[in-house]
Amino acid sequence: GNSVTQMEGPVTLSEEAFLTINCTYTATGYPSLFWYVQYPGEGLQLLLKATKADDKGSNKGFEATYRKETTSFHLEKGSVQVSDSAVYFCALLTGGFKTIFGAGTRLFVKA
């Protein structure tokens, strides 16, 4: 079946450090891939998405490239800020309407 695996957290970084959160997926067909972010006390919100192979999604300095050959969609940011502290969810949607989420990776950024 379809599934998403992302690195376990928490990830703790100092401000201005480089961030990578790994995400790999298993899916039939050609899924759309997403990163959602959940700030403390809030629901999830879409961070970025990519709908086909080699597409790069980007938003707020975050980037992720849809790699079909490695079935990956790793999230990166060149210089994190304290305000980026949150839980990050990788997700996929293939065919119908069931968005499948990974378990989430908590990021702490220290000043």
Partner 1 sequence: ETGVTQTPRHLVMGMTNKKSLKCEQHLGHNAMYWYKQSAKKPLELMFVYSLEERVENNSVPSRFSPECPNSSHLFLHLHTLQPEDSALYLCASSQELGGAFPGANVLTFGAGSRLTVL
Residue whose CB is less far from partner 1, 52 or 79 = 52
57 lies in the site for partner 1, by CB under 8 A: no
Residue whose CB is less far from partner 1, 17 or 106 = 106
49 lies in the site for partner 1, by CB under 8 A: yes
1 lies in the site for partner 1, by CB under 8 A: no
SS (H, E, C) 23-67: EEEECCCCCEEEEEEECCCCCEEEEEEECCCCCEEEECCEEEECE
34 lies in the site for partner 1, by CB under 8 A: yes
| Angle ∠(11,56,48) on CA atoms, nearest 5 | 60
Residue of the chain from 7, 72, 99, 108 that contacts partner 1 (CB under 8 A): 99
Of 20-28, 29-37, 54-62, 66-74, which segment contacts partner 1 by CB under 8 A?
29-37
Cβ neighbour number for residue 86 with a 10 Å cutoff: 21
| Angle ∠(31,103,18) on CA atoms, nearest 5 | 85
Residues within the interface to partner 1 (CB under 8 A):
4, 32, 34, 36, 41-46, 49, 51, 89, 93, 96-104
